[in-house]
Amino acid sequence: MRATWLVPRLAVAAAVLCGLGWQSQSSRADQLAGSANSGQEKAIRYLGYRFLVPKAWPVIDDSKNPRGCVRFDQHAIYLGPVSGEEFCPSWLLGTTESVLIQPGPGKAITSSAEDPVARQITVRAARIQLTATFDSDPKLIYRILASAGLPSPAIVAPDPAAATEGDARRLSAGMHYPMASPPLPATVASYNGLGFDACAAPSRRYMRAWRRHSPYHAIGIYIGGADRACAQPNLTKGWVQAGWRFMPLYAGPQAVFGQLRHPLREGRAAASDAVVQARRLGFGPRTPLYYDMEAYGPKSRLSALRFLSAWTRRLHRLGYISGVYSSADSGIVDLARQYSRHRFAMPDVIFDAFWNGSASTTGRGMFDGPWPVHRRIHQYSGNVTQKFGGATMNVDKDFLNVRVSPPYVTAQSSPAVAVPGGAVVAFFRGPRDRLLLDRYSSPGGWGLAALAAAGAASAPSAVWAGSRIAVFYKGQGGYLWTASYLPDGTLVSRRRLAAMGVLGSQPRAIAQPGGVIDVFWRGSADDHLWHAQYTPGSGWNGPQGLGGDLASGPAPVTSSPGLTSVFWKGTNSALWVMTRDFGGRWSPPRDLGMAPLGGAPQATGQANGDVEVYWAGSGNPYLWEAFRTPARGWNGPRDLGGDVRSQPWPVTAAGTVSVLWRASGHRLGYARHRAGSADWNVLAWQEPAPAKVGRVASPPFAATGDPGVQVFWRGRGSSQWTSGLTGRNWSRPVKLT
CA separation for the pair 231, 222 (Å, rounded): 10
CB-based contact 520:505 (threshold 8 Å): no
Q: What DSSP string runs through 344-366?
A: SPPPSEEEEE--SS--SS-STTS
Residue from 526, 528, 530, 505 nearest 518 by CA:
530
CA separation for the pair 311, 225 (Å, rounded): 13
Amino acid sitting at position 407: P
Give how far the C-alpha of residue 700 lies from the chain's centroid of Cα atoms, to the nearest Å: 33
Amino acid sitting at position 515: G
CB neighbour list of residue 712: distance below 8 Å, 6 or more residues apart: 415, 416, 426, 428, 700, 701, 702, 720, 721, 722, 736
CB atoms within 10 A of CB 186: 23
Greater confidence, 512 or 116?
116
pLDDT band at residue 20 using 50, 70 and 90 as cut-offs: very low
Check whether 162 has a pLDDT greater than 80: no
CB-based contact 352:335 (threshold 8 Å): no
Q: What DSSP string runs through 145-201?
A: HHHTTPPPPEE----TTSPPSS------TT---PPPPPPBPGGGG-EEEEEEE-SSP
Greater confidence, 422 or 720?
720
What DSSP state is assigned to residue 240?
G
Q: What is the dihedral of CA 320, 325, 328, 334, to 10 degrees?
A: -50
CA separation for the pair 566, 568 (Å, rounded): 7
CA separation for the pair 269, 266 (Å, rounded): 5
Check whether 6 has a pLDDT greater than 60: no
pLDDT band at residue 561 using 50, 70 and 90 as cut-offs: low
Per-residue pLDDT tens over the stretch 522-550: 999 999 999 999 987 678 888 999 999 99
pLDDT at 165: 39
- Specify the 3-state DSSP secondary structure of 308: helix
As a whole number, mean pLDDT of residues 160-189 equals: 57
CB-based contact 461:415 (threshold 8 Å): yes
pLDDT at 404: 87
User: Which parts of 595-707 are beta strand (E)?
Assistant: 602-605, 611-616, 623-629, 633-639, 649-653, 656-663, 667-674, 685-691, 701-704
Please tell me the pTM assigned to this model. 0.77
Cis check: omega of the bond before 543, within 30 degrees of 0: yes
The CA–CA distances, whole Å, from 504 to 326, 477, 500 equal 57, 11, 11
Cis check: omega of the bond before 596, within 30 degrees of 0: yes
Per-residue pLDDT tens over the stretch 671-724: 888 776 544 444 456 667 778 888 999 999 998 866 689 999 999 888 999 998
pLDDT band at residue 159 using 50, 70 and 90 as cut-offs: confident
Per-residue pLDDT tens over the stretch 336-385: 999 989 999 999 999 999 999 999 998 765 666 789 889 999 999 999 99
Give how far the C-alpha of residue 666 lies from the chain's centroid of Cα atoms, to the nearest Å: 44
What would the 3-class secondary structure string for 518-546 be? EEEEEECCCCCEEEEEEECCCEEEEEEEE
**Strand duo 469-474 + 479-485: pairing:** antiparallel
How many Cα atoms sit within 13 Å of 119 on the Cβ side?
Answer: 25
pLDDT at 479: 96
Helices (H), 630-692: none
Check whether 110 has a pLDDT greater than 50: yes
In the chain, the N- to C-terminal Cα span, in Å, equals: 64
Check whether 615 has a pLDDT greater than 90: yes
Q: What is the share, in percent, of the chain residues with pLDDT greater than 70?
A: 88
Least confident of 122-136, 209-223, 444-458: 444-458
- Dihedrals φ, ψ of 56, to 5°? -80, -10
Per-residue pLDDT tens over the stretch 232-264: 999 998 899 878 999 999 999 999 999 999 999
pLDDT at 30: 38
Per-residue pLDDT tens over the stretch 52-80: 999 999 999 988 888 899 999 999 999 99
Per-residue pLDDT tens over the stretch 457-496: 999 999 988 788 999 999 989 999 999 999 888 999 999 9
pLDDT at 39: 60
Helix, strand, coil percentages, rounded to 5, for the chain:
15, 40, 45
CA separation for the pair 474, 178 (Å, rounded): 24
Domain architecture of the chain: domains with CATH:
4-155 (no CATH), 189-402 (3.20.20.80), 413-533 (2.120.10.70)
Average pLDDT, the chain: 87
CA separation for the pair 203, 8 (Å, rounded): 37
The CA–CA distances, whole Å, from 429 to 206, 277, 415, 426 equal 55, 44, 9, 10
What DSSP state is assigned to residue 666?
G
Check whether 166 has a pLDDT greater than 60: no
CB-based contact 399:359 (threshold 8 Å): yes
Residue from 165, 191, 379 nearest 278 by CA:
165
Handedness of CA 210, 214, 220, 226 (dihedral sign): negative
pLDDT at 177: 44
CA separation for the pair 47, 104 (Å, rounded): 10
CB-based contact 271:314 (threshold 8 Å): yes
pLDDT at 566: 97
CA separation for the pair 355, 303 (Å, rounded): 25
Amino acid sitting at position 547: G
Check whether 167 has a pLDDT greater than 50: no
- Dihedrals φ, ψ of 155, to 5°? -80, 120
Amino acid sitting at position 280: R
CB atoms within 10 A of CB 172: 8
Q: H-helix or E-strand containing 565?
A: strand 563-569
